[in-house]
Amino acid sequence: MEGNGISRRGVLRAGALGVAASTLPLVNVHGQSSGGRLALGLWDHWVPAGNDEMRRIVMDWGQKNRVEIQLDFITSVGNKNLLTIAAESQARQGHDMLSFPTWEVHAKADQLEPMDDIMGRLGEKYGALNPIVEYLAKVEGKWRAVPAISGSQNKPALGRMDLLKQHAGIDIQQMFPANANPGSAAGNWNWDTFLKAAEASHKAGFSFGLPIGQFTDATDWIGSLFRSFGAELVNGKGDITAKSDNVRKVLEYAKQLCAFLPGDVFSWDDASNNRALISGKSALIFNPPSAWAVAKRDAPQVAEQCWSFPAPAGAQGRFTPYLPYFWGVWSFSRNKGAAKALVEYLSQREQAELMVKASNGYDIPPFTSMTDFKTWETEGPPPGVVFNYPVKPHHNAQQFIACYPAPPEIAVQMYNQGIQAKMIARVVQNNETPDRAIAWAEREIEGFKRG
């Protein structure tokens, strides 16, 4: 907790811990507090500077509006943020405003304040949103949270220019340079090309680092793979549509691809692929620029060769994995007005630009009109490494969340239990036929459908 609101807890702590309490870091906002108190639980950013910038923005706002701010950064490690959300929704107390990951807005919709007014004003100002955030945060026609800037991320390809050029003959920087004029090879950047590149890299000892476990990095890229093959397991109405040629095709494809991946990708977590890249063992992963940023610190010679570029396209198009966060205000909050005002303030272009800058371009704002910040062009080395990290018009790509368009209460279970990844694992590890894997998935999903 930061800030020095004089709460019951504060008094208790000060009394009980005595001197110790005075050693706490007090980042403070002290005004006449006419705006009351506001407790915020925001996503603990992987870039320390991301937290610092966020704190600065929020505290500034608090000072200007005479609102006392208590700010916690809640990590998503070990699903701590999910635990926090569950805890506060049960206890009906805690923070006024929280960062909600992907599916939680739907799950807690009846305890969240409607945000239609804010969304209306933001839409007028900044134009179109991507449809995924609408799918995730608009429940029964009402916005229950505002798509967040901080923490929302894409997971396009992040490759090694040198390795891919040398072993797979693909010049990714020429294909997707740091400007709006893609190279001639860009049109050919599809899953077939990808497979050949994976094979070549594997033979050279730099297998692609594609996780196929139950963590989000795995679910997200596999979701996009399925979508670009047109392989849909559940449609928007909630009918199971897994038994289709497209699903069979994508499973066949995945089986071929897995032959060129490390043997233990089935247990990889969100950090394993980063490590594969940073250690220099891998030529390509699907990830936000965090892997590159760590490499910049720990393995600069690797970082210099990194380049973000769009995911390959399939028969149905190109889909960039996307994992948004949302800012929501609890209906039991005692200071909803201030909380909503802050959310609206944070969503403005000026603040978005600051956050993107502080996070080395990691954060992806929900509005397409905000994908032109300078940071993405200048960040480096190599300069322009994250230029193609946000989805640009010339990518011909859409942001996508795995399991879309299944009804969210089914999709959340498919997503978190990694159904698609497990289908692949069955086909690859257990040598099952695609039809058997599909039959298994149908049985699982049938179970998710109960109310």
Subset of residues 97 to 136 that bind another protein, contact rule: CB under 8 A: 103-104, 107
Subset of residues 149 to 178 that bind another protein, contact rule: CB under 8 A: none
The CA-CA-CA angle for residues 415, 227, 373, to 5°, reads: 90
The token pair at 203 is: 């033979």
Report which of 1, 18, 149, 113 is spatially closest to residue 68, judged by C-alpha positions: 1
409 binds another protein (CB under 8 A): yes
Report which of 25, 14, 30 is spatially closest to residue 69, judged by C-alpha positions: 30
272 binds another protein (CB under 8 A): yes
Report which of 14, 360, 314 is spatially closest to residue 153, judged by C-alpha positions: 360
Subset of residues 193 to 222 that bind another protein, contact rule: CB under 8 A: 213-215, 217
The CA-CA-CA angle for residues 386, 300, 73, to 5°, reads: 60
9 binds another protein (CB under 8 A): yes
Is residue 158 within 8 Å of residue 144, measured between CB atoms? no
Subset of residues 225 to 244 that bind another protein, contact rule: CB under 8 A: none
Listed in sequence order, the residues at least 6 apart from 322 whose beta carbon sits closer than 8 Å to its beta carbon are 130, 132, 152, 153, 154, 155, 220, 364, 399, 400, 401
Q: Which of 6, 27, 49, 77: binder of another protein (CB under 8 A)?
A: 77
Q: Which is nearer to another protein, 103 or 229 (CB)?
A: 103
Q: Which is nearer to another protein, 168 or 410 (CB)?
A: 410
The count of residues interacting with another protein (CB under 8 A) is 89
The count of other CB atoms within 10 Å of the CB of residue 236 is 11
Scanning 304-312, 376-384, 396-404, 425-433 for contacts with another protein by CB under 8 A, the matching segment is: 425-433
Alpha carbons 339 and 333: distance in angstroms, whole number: 9
Subset of residues 42 to 61 that bind another protein, contact rule: CB under 8 A: 44-48
- Block residue for tokens 């029964």: 140
Alpha carbons 40 and 217: distance in angstroms, whole number: 27
Could you tell me the smallest distance in angstroms from the CB atom of residue 109 to another protein? 10
75 binds another protein (CB under 8 A): yes
Is residue 190 within 8 Å of residue 395, measured between CB atoms? no
Distances in whole angstroms, Cα of residue 138 to Cα of each of 131, 153, 270, 309, 377: 10, 19, 28, 30, 32
Q: Which is nearer to another protein, 377 or 409 (CB)?
A: 409
Q: Which of 150, 224, 290, 305: binder of another protein (CB under 8 A)?
A: 290
Could you tell me the smallest distance in angstroms from the CB atom of residue 194 to another protein? 21
Q: Which is nearer to another protein, 196 or 449 (CB)?
A: 449
422 binds another protein (CB under 8 A): yes
37 binds another protein (CB under 8 A): no
Could you tell me the smallest distance in angstroms from the CB atom of residue 405 to another protein? 18
22 binds another protein (CB under 8 A): no
294 binds another protein (CB under 8 A): yes
Q: Which is nearer to another protein, 83 or 204 (CB)?
A: 83
Beta bridge partners of 153: 323
Scanning 73-81, 141-149, 239-247, 387-395 for contacts with another protein by CB under 8 A, the matching segment is: 73-81
Q: Which is nearer to another protein, 24 or 315 (CB)?
A: 24
